[in-house]
């Protein structure tokens, strides 16, 4: 596995819509594995392909440290329920966090790391993580949806 460079705000790639993955190949699996390593190294809970400069509809997420790692290729959110505000940060927007309104519950489907169809329902923080990563695939950053933004130094916030 290899660590990838994380693209930061200001790079136009973060504002573009990603293309679908045609087939889950060894190269796609290798990229997903690199994304997990990069996410872990940066101490994040999710990472989308455009954050490492790859314009494909895929992301990885691990909402609970040491928990299940989710791989989503060509994801689609098929159900949203409720609304809840919460704090979010982003590896591509270092030094800041914001208050963002997200669905309380979602259902998301897509392909897994092996190209098999999968569908999950997530609630709470897990739903927030999946929605955040999903937005990256459409060129949307959390700060676009934030009701308020804060510099970490303003409140002593640490990741």
Residues annotated as part of the active site: 133
Question: For residues 43 and 121, what is the distance between their CA atoms, to the nearest angstrom?
Answer: 24
Angstrom CA distances, 120 to 36, 50, 55, 111, 138, stand at: 19, 23, 24, 11, 20
**Contact (Cβ atoms closer than 8 angstroms) between residue 21 and residue 61:** no
**Count of Cβ atoms closer than 10 Å to residue 94 Cβ:** 13
Terminal Cα-to-Cα distance of the chain (whole angstroms)? 24
């Amino acid at each position: 596995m290899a660590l990838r460079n994380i693209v930061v705000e200001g790079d136009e790639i973060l504002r573009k819509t990603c293309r679908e993955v045609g087939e889950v190949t060894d190269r796609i699996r290798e990229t997903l594995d690199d994304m997990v390593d990069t996410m872990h190294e940066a101490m994040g809970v999710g990472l989308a392909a455009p954050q490492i400069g790859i314009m494909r509809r895929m992301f990885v997420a691990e909402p609970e440290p040491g928990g299940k790692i989710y791989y989503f290729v060509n994801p689609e959110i098929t159900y949203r329920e409720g609304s809840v505000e919460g704090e979010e940060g982003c590896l591509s927007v270092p030094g800041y966090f914001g208050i963002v309104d997200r669905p309380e519950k979602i259902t998301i489907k897509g392909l897994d790391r092996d190209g098999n169809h999968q569908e999950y329902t997530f609630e709470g923080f897990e739903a927030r993580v999946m929605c955040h990563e999903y937005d990256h695939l459409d060129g949307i950053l959390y700060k676009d949806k934030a009701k308020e933004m804060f510099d970490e130094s303003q409140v002593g916030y640490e990741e």
